[in-house]
Amino acid sequence: MKINSEIFKAYDIRGIYPKEINSEAAYLIGRAFVNFLKKKKPKIVVGRDNRLSSPFLFKALTKGIIDQGANLIDIGFATTPMLYFAVAYFKLDGGIEISASHNPSQYNGFKLVREKAIPISGKSGIKEIKKLVLINKFEGKRKGRILKRRVLKEYLNFNFKDFNRKKITPLKIAIDTANAVSGIVVSEIFKKTKCRIYHLYSKLDGSFPHHNPDPLLKENLKTLTQIVRKKRANLGIAFDGDGDRIIFVDEKGKVIPGDLITALIAELILEKNPKKKILYDIRSSNIVREIIQRKGGIPIKGRIGHSFIKEKMRKENIIFAGELSGHYYLKKHYFCEAPLFVLFKVLEIISQTNKSLSEIIKPFRKYYHSGELNFKVRNKKKILETLEKKFKDGKISKIDGLRIDFSNWWFLVRPSHTEPLMRLVVEAKNKRLLERKTHLLSNFLNG
């Protein structure tokens, strides 16, 4: 049996089903995961999204897990944050979410965590699991058992312990879950509020018939923004395929960049938790750092990617972190993604101030930001070396790729960890400067 070694990525295991990732691979990954944990009779949680291939991968993965002697807790349909919660809250030994996140329907894969929902990435275990799978020499074990458990109610109660949902004003909210697994959460979270919900594509359908579950692509937000305007909603919300990212749209139908939400939530958290550390990814606007400092917090600039962020948060006792991509992490949520916490923080501030979301966000729109632009390139290393020499007069940072700051603008160029692409971000103090510098760097990257 030949296993495609390319499915083992920097952050997870992922590929096209069944061409790249299939039941044979899933079975061996299950056995290798148990072996990797090095615990006697470990308890492992498995959750899954609603992709058409998920039941087949679930069946094979779980067979591998119990054949290797572990006990398995099947939590059924689950968002990735639900899976993380189950592992940490119930003090289990590890967990696997069957999902390909925001990728199109033909993809699927596995997100792996150990105890306390600590992520297993390329360097912290995926390479070892890959090696075990490819060698494929597993000893016979006394089989483990499969137990079923539903965790949605406990997950929601955990999220709402900091909020009084009855104090949320009767807002009109449009929500797009793209026929993906987040639909099971949305149907429950507004029950104790007076909010009016327009739930788009709520029916679970793993073929994602309306659009791919990637809210970072503007074309996937087209219907959401239209509904927000048509229904005169107070805001719009979009989740990605496994529910660990959340994107906001204001009442005018304008998409709010993830870093501005980071700045808003950081401000709100620091009001009650002064002098705490807040992490933001290196793509984020300078306004994030400025807000954290203004509110008496300690800004920490970090690498992109959930495994790097969670590791740094644990190591430095960071209370909150946010990424441009709409991932938000909270110490109180076991250093994991906390999209519902962020959602209810936003609803809370709208309710308390009686301001529109666009008014609340306006003070954070200080700079002009390009967002992330992608370029297909051949020699990533050479490009970074050339750019460093070309812009050597700026302040150079190599936390993740190459970021160079000047007095009135900055840029970041970094290689993708998952695709043959170079990613560019530019920010400037005025629109004209942004356009000029973006054009200059785009021409360079296009060769």
Instruction: Give me the active site residues, please.
Output: 101
Produce one character per residue of 235-274: b if its CB has 16 or more CB atoms within 10 Å, e if not.
bbbbbbbbbbbbbbbbbebebbbbbbbbbbbbbbbbeebe
Round to whole Å and give the CA distance between 306 and 328.
Answer: 9
Round to whole Å and give the CA distance between 367 and 358.
Answer: 16
Tokens of 235: 């805001």
For residue 343, which of 251, 249, 225, 277 has the smallest C-alpha distance? 249
Round to whole Å and give the CA distance between 37 and 222.
Answer: 44
Are residues 156 and 217 in contact, defined by beta-carbon separation less than 8 angstroms? no
Integer angstrom CA distances of residue 340 from 161, 189, 237, 344, 429: 12, 9, 11, 6, 33
